[in-house]
Amino acid sequence: MLHHIRSAEEWFQNHTLRARLKLLNPHAWLTQAVRLYTQGRGKWPRMMGAPPTTNAECRMLELWEKEIKRIAPMLPTAIDDYDEWWKQQNLVHYEAYTINEAKQLRKDAVNLAKELWKLTPGCPEEGYMHRFVVKGETWPATDKLMPPYARLQRDIVTSWWAEKREELQQRWGSAFTETEQREAERLWHDRPITNSPRPVTYGPPGRRNRQRKRKRAKRGRGRLTAQSDT
């Protein structure tokens, strides 16, 4: 039985990245794990095989996530994951001040999430957040958005960015070059690379037919002239 499981994993992992993504069940836990990876909230799942290695493949992964989230269940928020983790902890092992810090962390995370989703599209703060995630720029000096001091808050920022990824990249610029984006589109839609020249056309069929008729008529007149000379 174990041999068959390993064989199935090897068969799956030997496919191209695009084929592996296409084979994923939208409701499977592996799909959720890959989606969390695209949001910066988890590692690349080992069962998926080789991770994306080029910028074009990374962009292709974003295109996949854009399509799959239309039919897949909603991902749990970073705060949901934090609450679930906290429920599993034995509070007996924590000091009172540690529990109070955890409560304050959650409160700050909730406020950060609210402020992010209240941002007006196109406002300077939105551009700052986009560049913070994409380019790693410093956190903006603003009273609206509290700088993240824990993993929970960073996950909230990257999740917000991932949900608005396409519109943010249209407004503030993509993390990928135009060449990388075209290559990603080609990979995702499985378009072949063609270097053959475009076929040359000499006009519409009606025009070509008229040209052929004139050539035949000219050849016919030439034969008649030759016969009359003899």
pLDDT tens per residue across span 35-47: 999 999 999 999 9
Q: Give the percent of the chain with pLDDT over 90.
A: 68
The confidence score (pLDDT) of residue 2 equals 56
Q: Are residues 89 and 147 in the same domain?
A: yes
**Does residue 11 fall inside a structural domain?**
yes
For the chain, what is the largest distance between any 2 Cα atoms, rounded to a whole number of angstroms?
122
Whether 139 maps to a domain, the answer reads: yes
The answer to whether residue 228 is domain-embedded is: no
Please count the other Cβ atoms lying within 10 Å of the Cβ belonging to residue 177: 12
Residue 229's pLDDT band, with cuts at 50, 70 and 90, is low
Tens digit of each residue's pLDDT (9 = 90 or more) over 41-71 = 999 999 999 999 999 999 999 999 999 999 9
- Number of domains making up the chain: 2
Work out the pLDDT band at 207, boundaries 50, 70, 90: low
Measured CA distances, 101 to 41, 57, 73, 108 (Å) = 22, 40, 32, 10
**Average confidence (pLDDT) over 173-190:** 93
Pick the last residue of a domain from 163, 192, 211. 163
One domain for residues 151 and 97: yes
Top mean pLDDT of 90-94, 190-194, 210-214 is at: 90-94
- Is 12 a member of any domain? yes
pLDDT of residue 200: 42
**Has residue 97 got a pLDDT over 80?**
yes
Q: What is the pLDDT of residue 199?
A: 45
Spatial separation of the C-alpha atoms in residues 33 and 66, rounded to whole Å: 15
Is residue 47 located within the same domain as residue 92?
no
Give the domain range for residue 6: 2-68
Final residue before a domain boundary, out of 48, 68, 88: 68
Residues 47 and 109 in one domain: no
Task: Tell me: do 85 and 149 sit in the same domain.
Answer: yes
Shared domain check, 50 and 28: yes
pLDDT at 4: 58
Is 107 found in the same domain as 57? no
Residue 148's pLDDT is: 92
My answer on whether 44 and 24 are in the same domain is yes
Q: Is the model's pLDDT at 224 over the cut of 80? A: no
Check residue 1 and give its pLDDT: 57
85 and 156, same domain (yes or no): yes
Per-residue pLDDT tens digits for 130-142:
999 999 999 988 8
37 within 8 A of 44, measured Cβ to Cβ: yes
46 with 88, same domain: the answer is no
Residue 78 pLDDT > 70, yes or no?
yes
Domain annotation covers residue 101: yes
Does some domain include residue 115? yes
- C-beta separation of 101 from 67 below 8 A: no
Which domain-ending residue is among 36, 68, 100? 68
The pTM for the full model equals: 0.77
Place of tokens 């390993």: 6
Structure tokens at 151: 């993993």
Same domain, 90 and 62: no
Examine residue 111 and state whether it is found in any structural domain, yes or no. yes
**Residue 86 shares a structural domain with residue 127:** yes
